[in-house]
Amino acid sequence: MNIKNVERTKVVLQSRSKATPAPSADAAAPSTASSSSQGPPPAAGAAQTTDPLQLAAQIYPWLYMTSTLEKAFGDGEKAAEAEIQTFARDLAQDEESIRDEKTRWESERFIEFCDSLSSTPAGHLHVLQDLPEIMQSYLRHGKEADTWERKALDMAMSQMGTGTIASSNGSEETRTDEDAKDEQDRIEGAYQQQLNDLQSAIDHIEGLVNDGSTLGGRIQDVIDAVSPPAPVAAVPLPSPPPEEDKKFFEPSEEASRAAADGASHPLLTPLQRLLPLLSLRGDNLKLALELVDGAREGASMNLRAVSLGLY
């Protein structure tokens, strides 16, 4: 690095010495005369800019500072890269350990789930086989219930805002009997179509209510299949001796183990939480059914009034 600085200093000095022209004889004569007439010359200012030693003294500190900073930057960059690589290796090791723990945890949960299924009585295994279809039916029933609840509200609001269907054939003075008959047929057809739509909605909502009841029964069957068996009731000993007057039969060890296994079944709690949701969904569907039924009664009264010629 010092050799480079010295070479750079030589180049700078040579360039500056070439750029500075030598004073001519003609120019030196007047200066000598003027200096003799004006007194001694001032301090050698020109020598300060052309002296190679002074130029080297001015340039060398900057070159040294530049090289020092470049070296410091390079050392810092290398240290940062080394630290980043070390951190990346540590992070990869941590992620590998976390990945192994996650895989182990998922495997343990799956083994526990399989063990709980194997502890289910053999007579109820067919119920668990239907569980995927039951859950799909539950989700599908929820989407259809939401859709028809909105439709029921829209139908009820449209029936309240519609009232009687307006005539489209001008005033009563300009209408002929044939026009009046056509207008009445048109209005009756519109009300009849409205009644048909409302009746179709009622049938569909009633079907959803019945499907919800059936679905609740199927979920209850699965709950019964995975629920722990009922504890054996304590039965007093027949004709016990006086010293054993207060002793009862206790449940067997197998029954206690089965009850403990059933209580920890992973499907029990989620399935039990579905039943209240189904009950609330059924209540909402019944309210929607009442709204559509009221709208149907209003449309039926309007149709009856039109058929009697009241409109």
Ranges of H-type helices in the chain: 2-19, 25-38, 45-50, 52-118, 125-129, 131-162, 177-226, 253-263, 268-307
Q: Could you give phi then psi for residue 219, rounded to 5 degrees?
A: -65, -40
**What does the block give as tokens for 55?**
């130029």
First to last CA, the chain: 109
109 and 214, same domain (yes or no): no
State residue 127's pLDDT score: 65
Q: Which of 91, 118, 145 is the last residue of a domain?
A: 118
Are 264 and 128 in a shared domain? Answer: yes
State the Cα–Cα distance between residues 41 and 23, nearest whole angstrom: 16
Residue 248, pLDDT score: 43
Residue 283 counted as domain residue: yes
Q: Which domain holds residue 4?
A: 1-13+50-118
The reply to whether 236 falls in a domain is: no
Specify the pLDDT at position 305.
77
Is residue 219 a contact partner of residue 134, using CB atoms and an 8 Å limit?
yes
pLDDT of res. 284? 94
Which pLDDT belongs to residue 81? Answer: 92
Report the domain count for the chain.
2
Q: What is the pTM of this model?
A: 0.48
Residues 136 and 257 both lie in one domain: yes
Q: Taking a C-beta distance cutoff of 8 angstroms, is the pair 212, 285 a contact?
A: yes
How confident is the model at residue 51, as a pLDDT? 82
Q: Are residues 63 and 193 in the same domain?
A: no
Residue 200 phi/psi, 5-degree rounding, is: -65, -40
Domain-embedded: residue 39? no
Radius of gyration for the chain, computed over Cα atoms and rounded to the nearest angstrom: 51
Residue 281 lies in a domain: yes
Residue 199 lies in a domain: yes
pLDDT (tens digit, 0 to 9) for every residue of the chain, 311 residues total?
455 555 665 555 555 555 445 444 444 444 444 444 444 444 444 444 578 888 888 888 888 899 999 999 999 999 999 999 999 988 888 888 788 888 888 888 778 777 766 665 555 566 677 888 888 999 999 999 999 999 998 888 887 655 544 444 444 555 566 666 666 667 777 777 888 888 889 999 999 999 999 999 988 888 887 776 665 554 454 555 455 444 444 445 544 444 444 445 677 788 888 999 999 999 999 999 999 988 888 888 877 777 776 65
Is residue 129 included in any domain, yes or no? yes
